[in-house]
Copies of this chain bind each other. A is one copy, B any other.
Amino acid sequence: MNTWIDKTTVRTMLAERENPPFDVRKMSIAMHGNERMLKLKERQMLELERNPLFYMGDYHDLTKDELRERTMSRIASLVHYVTNESVEEFTKRMELIGLFDPGFWTRFGVHYGLFLGAIRSGATPNQFSYWMDKGVIGCNGMFGCFCMTELAHGSNVAGLETTATFDEKTDEFIIHTPHLGATKWWIGGAAQTATHGAVFAKLIVNGRSYGTKTFIVPLRNPQTFDLLPGINVGDIGKKMGRDSIDNGYVQFTNVRIPRAYMLMKHTQVTRDGEVREPPLQQLTYGALLQGRAAMVSDAANMAKKALTIAVRYAAVRRQFKSDPKEPLETQILDYPIHQRRLMPLLAQSVAFGFTALEMVRLYEETSQALEALEPGDPNLAATLELLKETHATSAGLKAFCTWATLESIDKARQACGGHGYSSYNGFASMYADFAVHCTWEGDNTILALQSGRSLIASYQDALEGKHLRAGCVYLNELQTVLQRTGRDADLDSLDGIQRGWDTVAAHAVKKAAEDFQACIDQGMSKDAANEKCSQVRFVAASVHSSCFIFRQFKQAVERLPLQSADDRKVQEHLALLARFYGLWQMEEKAAFFLRARWLSAEQLDLVQAKVSECCTRVRAFAIPLIDAFAISDHIINSPIGRADGNVYAEYFRLVRRNNPQGKPHPYFERVIKPFLFRPTGEGTMEDFDEAIGIDEEIKEIKEDQEAAAAEDAERKSKQEDQERIRKAEDEFK
């Protein structure tokens, strides 16, 4: 192996790309939705790769402070695009950066997504113009943060305790943190970046509380960055990941803001303290959807990135020989067990990709419908229905896709052996950065339960003959679906597999709905029944999600254009991946299939055999498939995941560049030398006793004391005798 080019690994990788069974470009277009999106991505990847501020080679060795400073420079270099690019293009650019610097994505998103989003959705037209003029779009003289969560209140917005009390005398609100637990906590951008905060606080007017509203509160003098009076902001320091963003805490001590700094699109407070509340609250939920849809995309992309690394490395890594006559050891991707570790996850990442496309489409449909809505609109009911469904679907998908991707990242790491544990190969930061996706924008377990609750409602709707859309179509022909048994199990067609999922999902939802109804029938409150049935709700949501994802994948495959033999090849291979995903998830959730009697024990063995067979089939085109993911080496940022297969040479080069030799040892003189050459001969305890001779001395002391005591006793007894003699003499006197 030459130090610069490792011919063996590079040749191995080249061989993997010979005669791919489909046109890689066409496959890539299919996975990106259309050619325009793929070209946009390629253009943006090139721009990012060539932007000197986005150099990634030293990323893993930056300290928290260095990382944050560089992130700020990156932000400055990208604001340009906010005003010069379409929203779609800019969203895609952010999505790409989120793949290699998720902390950047968060920090940028804190201002543009959360702070500006709060103003967009909460400000009146005049208020909106005011903040526009102040420079909110271009971060001119201001940068916002989003002060929602509190130290003792994570997910319960209604329970927030920061107060905003109206002072009619001065026409101001007084923002106040009543006690430690109400300290704003986890506030992204607060520690080092923000000049203003969108603060969630309980509105109090004339002693009455009106619930949580949003207030824009200036935090710092933008010219000096000094904190304004009454504001206490601190850094909450090291986190599991995303150290690019400066999360902080914020405490308000009687901070006064003008009345007009309350966002008043929905609720208004007049000059004389009248509070006008909005007729309808629900529509604000729309704001949550974008985040969740983005997280499904992110889950798909991050899983693809992790698998790109693990599968490419498995293709060039060789261990042991299956056949002693072979000159080289076996590629570990050729071992069936290694295929079992990676191929199902690969199929899953493709499934997530198509699901994300659908989720984004659904989000756009929903938000357009919401925006088009006018007061008294006859479409209100239908739009709310759509919103409810999108909300429930996105909640479940956010939960199960982010969980699955987090697991994929760590399984991919483990599949790379020891080298997966080096920071330079990327899994460590990928895991640590991604992990928070399971918690924020709704804890996954809670979201899964929300999705489960909505499924119970859909089940009841179906029983009442209401026609259900998209995700829950299987509930429309409930009785037919529930009657199906394994006898009609067709494991080879997508339709057959879909039938299985529909049946099993229907059973799981039925069980949840019936258990819930039983609790209601026993006289429980809805809340109590929901709590009691949380586990079955969770299970229903889990099975439904697999069913939903499979359906999206299947439909995406069926919708592909078929104008050429190349198109048909692409469809054929994606159909194989869809089938693989459906069967593998069936194996993973086999208990539900057995329990619903859709599979017999023997059929389950068959499912397992088919999954193993799919592993081998997909392995054959795994590298071309991954090439079609179209993620640049700059974004992959992992020497063992390089496209060209020159893994060891580049890994070594990177490690050596980031850990330069020849510098003096940082603590040899201070710690190691004194340790290695510490004076010995402290001696044992026996030596020590002998040296001091303490026992001899103790013996002498003891003897002296005893002698003295004996003397004393003698003296005393003499005294006593004399005393007695004297007394006796006295008596006889």
- Inter-chain contact B597/A601, CB cutoff 8 Å: yes
- Inter-chain contact B225/A665, CB cutoff 8 Å: yes
A418 touches which of B154, B192, B235, B241 (Cβ 8 Å): B154
Residue A222 interfacial (CB < 8 Å)? yes
A414 touches which of B340, B431, B443, B668 (Cβ 8 Å): B443
Residue A156 interfacial (CB < 8 Å)? yes
- Inter-chain contact A65/B410, CB cutoff 8 Å: no
> Which of A152, A410, A424, A659: most chain B Cβ within 10 A?
A152
Task: For A444, list chain B residues within 8 Å (CB).
Answer: 414
Q: A192-B665, A440-B418 are in contact. Are A675 and B139 (CB under 8 A)?
A: yes
Q: A152-B648, A239-B428 are in contact. Are A601 and B594 (CB under 8 A)?
A: yes
- Inter-chain contact A234/B656, CB cutoff 8 Å: yes
Residue A14 interfacial (CB < 8 Å)? no
A193-B608 Cα distance, complex, nearest whole Å = 50
Residue A604 interfacial (CB < 8 Å)? yes
Residue A76 interfacial (CB < 8 Å)? yes
State the oligomeric state as a number of copies: 2
Q: Pick the interface stretch among A178-186, A379-387, A456-464, A705-713.
A: A178-186
- Inter-chain contact A413/B428, CB cutoff 8 Å: no
A680-B676 Cα distance, complex, nearest whole Å = 62
- Inter-chain contact A2/B180, CB cutoff 8 Å: yes
Number of interface residues of A (CB under 8 A): 127
Q: A337-B449, A597-B601 are in contact. Are A238 and B61 (CB under 8 A)?
A: yes
Q: Pick the interface stretch among A141-149, A621-629, A719-727.
A: A141-149
- Inter-chain contact A421/B449, CB cutoff 8 Å: no
Q: Pick the interface stretch among A31-39, A471-479, A528-536, A564-572.
A: A528-536
- Inter-chain contact B661/A234, CB cutoff 8 Å: yes
Chain B, residue nearest A511 (CB): B605
A608 touches which of B75, B535, B655, B674 (Cβ 8 Å): B535
- Inter-chain contact A155/B319, CB cutoff 8 Å: yes
Residue A493 interfacial (CB < 8 Å)? no
Q: A531-B322, A659-B237 are in contact. Are A3 and B418 (CB under 8 A)?
A: no
Residue A17 interfacial (CB < 8 Å)? no
- Inter-chain contact A69/B154, CB cutoff 8 Å: no
Chain B, residue nearest A589 (CB): B591
Q: Which of A235-251 contact B (CB under 8 A)?
A: 235-241, 249
- Inter-chain contact B239/A535, CB cutoff 8 Å: no
A60-B155 Cα distance, complex, nearest whole Å = 26
A180 touches which of B3, B422, B594 (Cβ 8 Å): B3
A534 touches which of B153, B336, B670, B671 (Cβ 8 Å): B336
Residue A275 interfacial (CB < 8 Å)? no
Task: For A421, list chain B residues within 8 Å (CB).
Answer: 239-241, 435-436, 439
Task: For A667, list chain B residues within 8 Å (CB).
Answer: 65, 68-69, 72, 192
- Inter-chain contact A675/B238, CB cutoff 8 Å: no
* Minimum CB–CB distance for A429 against chain B, Å: 9
Q: Which of A1-29 contact B (CB under 8 A)?
A: 1-3, 6
A595 touches which of B192, B337, B601 (Cβ 8 Å): B601
* Minimum CB–CB distance for A604 against chain B, Å: 6
Residue A91 interfacial (CB < 8 Å)? no
Residue A370 interfacial (CB < 8 Å)? no
Q: Can you list 11 A-B contacts with CB-CB less than 8 angstroms, sorted by A residue number?
A: A6-B180, A63-B63, A139-B675, A142-B676, A143-B676, A180-B649, A225-B673, A238-B424, A417-B439, A535-B608, A594-B594
- Nearest first, the 7 A-B pairs at minimum CB distance are A240-B428, A238-B423, A590-B591, A337-B534, A235-B659, A1-B179, A76-B675
